[in-house]
């Protein structure tokens, strides 16, 4: 039993070096998403009446495909960072917290890979 | 004292509801809702890659009343999270922390996100050529 406060015990041990990475990643993905989301909303409005072939032609066009892949990557990176913080704040049981965070990160990886692969398939050859 | 039984931040119920805290909570709620909304984005893209039939299923769902209701909710969530996210980024560079500014930017975000949601849906219906 020590009477030192946790702060006194931590003092002088040096920083953990990587503590701000999560915060920064949330910020730069947010910054990237500002123009990407504005582009996406305007584009979806412009293609509201599209039938299947027009929609696929739009998704597969070079500029759209590149921006969609960037959007998907930024959305899922940003989203899993945010959901991680929500889990850390509200799931107080250590095991459940870890399980939820793993599920969030695993889900984000699977969904983003599926979405990116779909865009690439349309852009690089189109559906059979 | 067991350290794991202490009250943990954030314990929201002890505070009086205010615009600032409500918008902060709404930022989280819309963020979680948008995370769920990515399922529709992924479904839409995967269906487009799979072929016309799968794509038609997604279009039919989006066109149904449930699909439209979800899409309306997600439109607001996206535009609110976008506007309030910009508000957060402005705070991050150190601007707008005076109480009057925080309230002013808060009301701007409320107005902008509601206004943009209405605008997006009007433009969306116009782009469909007036059909429902």
ipTM of the complex: 0.89
- pLDDT band for position A128 (50/70/90)? very low
pLDDT of A49: 84
Q: Nearest-CA neighbor of A124 among A68, A59, A75, A72?
A: A59
- pLDDT band for position B3 (50/70/90)? low
Interface test with B, best of A69, A76, A118 (most B CBs within 10 A): A118
Q: Which CATH class for the B20-127 domain?
A: mainly alpha
- Mind listing the pLDDT tens digit for each residue in B57-71? 999 999 999 999 999
Contacting B with CB below 8 Å, chain A residues are: 27, 30-31, 33-34, 37-38, 41, 44-49, 52, 55-56, 59, 68, 72, 75-76, 79, 82-83, 86, 89, 92, 111, 114-115, 117-119, 121-122, 127-128
Query: Taking 80 as the threshold, does the pLDDT of residue A127 lie above it?
Result: no
pLDDT of A94: 93
Maximum CA pair distance of chain A? 72
Residues of B (51-70) whose Cβ lies below 8 Å from A: 51-52, 55-56
| Contact status, residue A116 vs residue A69, Cβ threshold 8 Å | yes
- For A21-124, CATH gives 1.20.1300.10
DSSP 8-state assignment for residue B4 = G
The Cα of A9 is separated from the nearest Cα of chain B by a number of Å equal to 17
Torsion of CA B5, B9, B14, B19, to 10 degrees: -160
| Contact status, residue A81 vs residue A29, Cβ threshold 8 Å | yes
pLDDT of B7: 65
Range of weakest confidence among A16-25, A39-48, B81-90: A16-25
Q: Which residue of B has its CA nearest to A93?
A: B4
Q: Among A48, A72, A79, whose Cβ lies nearest the Cβ of B128?
A: A48
pLDDT of B1: 47
| Contact status, residue A94 vs residue A51, Cβ threshold 8 Å | no
Mean pLDDT, residues B88-115: 97
Query: Taking 60 as the threshold, does the pLDDT of residue B131 lie above it?
Result: no
Tokens representing B83? 């506007």
Express as a percent the part of chain B with pLDDT over 90. 83
Residue extents of the structural domains in chain A? 21-124
End-to-end CA distance of chain B: 63
| Contact status, residue B102 vs residue B87, Cβ threshold 8 Å | no
Q: Which residue of A has its CA nearest to B39?
A: A111
Range of weakest confidence among A19-28, A105-114, B4-13, B42-51: B4-13
Mean pLDDT, residues B106-132: 90
pLDDT of A120: 97
């Amino acid at each position: 039993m020590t009477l030192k406060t946790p702060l006194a015990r931590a003092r002088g041990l040096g920083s953990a070096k990587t503590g701000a990475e999560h915060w920064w990643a949330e910020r730069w993905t947010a910054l990237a998403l500002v123009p990407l989301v504005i582009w996406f909303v305007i584009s979806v409005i412009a293609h509201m009446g599209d039938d299947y072939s027009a929609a696929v032609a739009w998704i597969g066009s070079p500029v759209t495909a590149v921006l969609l892949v960037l959007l998907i990557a930024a959305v899922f990176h940003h989203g899993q960072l945010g959901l991680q913080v929500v889990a850390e704040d509200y799931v107080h049981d250590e095991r459940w917290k870890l399980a939820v965070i793993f599920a969030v990160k695993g889900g984000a990886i699977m969904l983003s890979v599926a979405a990116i692969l779909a865009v690439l398939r349309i852009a690089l050859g189109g559906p059979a | 004292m067991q350290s794991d039984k202490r009250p943990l931040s954030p314990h929201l119920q002890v505070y009086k509801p205010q615009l600032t805290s409500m918008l902060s909570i709404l930022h989280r709620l819309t963020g979680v809702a948008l995370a769920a909304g990515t399922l529709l984005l992924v479904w839409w893209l995967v269906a487009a890659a799979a072929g016309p039939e799968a794509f038609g299923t997604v279009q039919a769902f989006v066109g149904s009343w449930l699909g439209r209701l979800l899409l309306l909710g997600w439109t607001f969530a996206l535009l609110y999270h976008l506007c309030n996210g910009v508000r957060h980024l402005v705070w991050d560079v150190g601007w707008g922390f005076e109480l009057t500014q925080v309230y002013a930017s808060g009301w701007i975000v409320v107005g902008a996100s509601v206004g943009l949601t209405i605008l997006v849906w009007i433009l969306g219906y116009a782009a469909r050529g007036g059909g429902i």
